[in-house]
Amino acid sequence: MNLPNKLTVLRMIAVPFFIACYMMELAIPALIIFALASLTDMLDGQIARKHNLVTNFGKIMDPLADKILVYSAFCMMVQDGTVPGWMMIVILAREFVVSGMRTVAASEGIVVAAGMSGKIKTVLQMIAVPLLLMLAAFPDVMILYYAAYGFLWASLIMTVVSGVEYIMQNKSVFSM
């Protein structure tokens, strides 16, 4: 297994530790784990492209690891009321639609690449989560409140935009 794939696996392994810290209300350790895991997302892609280490495992598991990390955080935050449940429903609905379309396309031998808006969505989510974690540690810092929820809303908007864009660009999948 090459280094980018090891980083992807490491990101998935970090999730239970993040969840445990979050559930014990250890916001700073949870923040550190999430931030380090998020950094592995940037690193694995850069290393894979730079050294021509792109693999089928990486193509499948890298975005899955991102989703497991971010959506685990959002689920924990829905549970304690930090993130409204309806936002999580919108986020998951988009993921199910996109994943379903990718599955149908793949069954026809068509590979549908991730678009820039989807990558922006992921980055915004990976910024919103640490800000929300910082807010949990420092609840009286109002600028943190506005930044955290600003990025959360921006990520939700990009979730919808990227979902609509994905459907429009790949509507031929519906006619299969």
Note the pLDDT tens digit of each residue in 11-42.
999 999 999 999 999 999 999 999 999 999 88
**pTM of the shown model:** 0.89
The answer to whether 144 touches 131, Cβ cutoff 8 Å, is yes
Percent of the chain at pLDDT > 90 equals 70
User: Where along the chain do its domains lie?
Assistant: 3-175
Choose among 104, 69, 79, 73: nearest CA to 174.
104
Task: Give CATH for domain 3-175.
Answer: 1.20.120.1760
Answer yes or no: is pLDDT of 118 > 70. yes
Neighbours of 124 (CB within 10 A): 20
Percent of the chain's residues with pLDDT above 70: 99
Q: CA 90 to CA 98: how far, in whole Å?
A: 12
Evaluate whether 162 touches 121 at the Cβ level (below 8 Å): yes
Is 132:152 a contact under the CB 8 Å cutoff? yes
